[in-house]
Amino acid sequence: MEIDVRVERLPLRAPVRITGYTFIEVPVIVVELREGEHVGRGEAAGIYYRAESPQRMIAQIDAIRPVLSAGADRSMLAHLLLPGGARNALDCAFWDLEAKRTGKPAWQLAGLQAPVPKITTYTLGADDPDAMAQLARSYPQARALKLKLTGEPIDAERVRAVRAVRPDVWLGVDANQGFGMDSLRQVMPAFIAADVRLIEQPVPPALDDGLPGLQSPIPIAADESVLCLADLPRCVGRFDAINIKLDKCGGLTEALAMARVAKVLGFKVMVGNMGGSSLAMAPGFLLAQLCDLVDLDGPLVLANDRSPGVIYEDGHISCPESLWGNPVVTRA
């Protein structure tokens, strides 16, 4: 098997601000696995808050390259790499390669039904309330919006401004650990008044123990507090929903297992993304078939996406067969 890994930098249309970070591009790695005439591809951005750079991910792959070249397969990746972007890129490339090699689509290999379009959130980066309201208006097709918040007093006005111009949408907020327990309590009345339906990772993981005492009437989802399958038990009693991201857990293989176990544990299940092109969204779209909430809008903020790319229509995301995970030759 031939293994090619390259770095690509995907510029954003405009800067996106969240708690503690402002992004102007998404650096990713793209893995290609070649076996005869078949090529499998996978893309990963890694986990920015764990300092996963493209160079670090490539070094992790290079360290196991001899094992991969000798015939390792997808089932061995969990023993070779920790959860994260490097494993995700390889895992997704193996799924794609297997689909081409066997002539069966990845959804079938995963034991899923044929995928159908799913409503996805459209994310608004933290900004001046009027600017966020204007951006919300620019997505008239969106049926669900997710607002990035920062734990600042202005958050309440941000939520009110967006809800005022988009009374029709499902509305969630994501603080990326920006709140403390006191500031979260203070802003909760504004969330309730705006009919916010989900609060994602409001506080740092170190404060998770305080969430049950909040008695939030709005479901709370774990993001930074849950990376992989092993983290699910500690979320019981603290969170209502789990945000699964392939870059966090190490690929579609573990993500599918997480979704199934999370449902057994009583969680609502969400699929999210760490940014990237349609090549990164396509495996997540398969996971979305098991999920209650979908956040796969990464390509919407890119200056340019791959072609073919995922399709956003009437607030839904769908994935053309020629993009990834199907027994056809693809290039982008």
Say whether the peptide bond before residue 83 is cis (omega within 30 degrees of 0): no
Is residue 119 a contact partner of residue 294, using CB atoms and an 8 Å limit? yes
How many CB atoms neighbour CB 143 within 10 A?
16
Q: Is 200 annotated as a binding residue?
A: yes
Tell whether 62 is in a known binding site: no
Closest CA to 175 of 17, 6, 5: 17
Strand partners, 220: 199
Tell me which residue of 120, 164, 114 sits closest to 141, measured CA to CA: 120
Distance CA(258)–CA(106), nearest Å, equals 18
Spot the catalytic one: 100, 118, 148, 248: 148
Residue 223 annotated as binding site: yes
Q: Which among 100, 146, 245, 248 is annotated as catalytic?
A: 245
Cα 2–chain centre separation: 28
Strand arrangement of the beta sheet that strand 2-18 belongs to: 2-18, 21-35, 38-44
CA distance 195 to 172: 9
For the question of residue 245 being annotated catalytic, the response is yes
Q: Which positions make up the binding site for Mg(2+)? A: 174, 200, 223
Q: Which residues are catalytic?
A: 148, 245
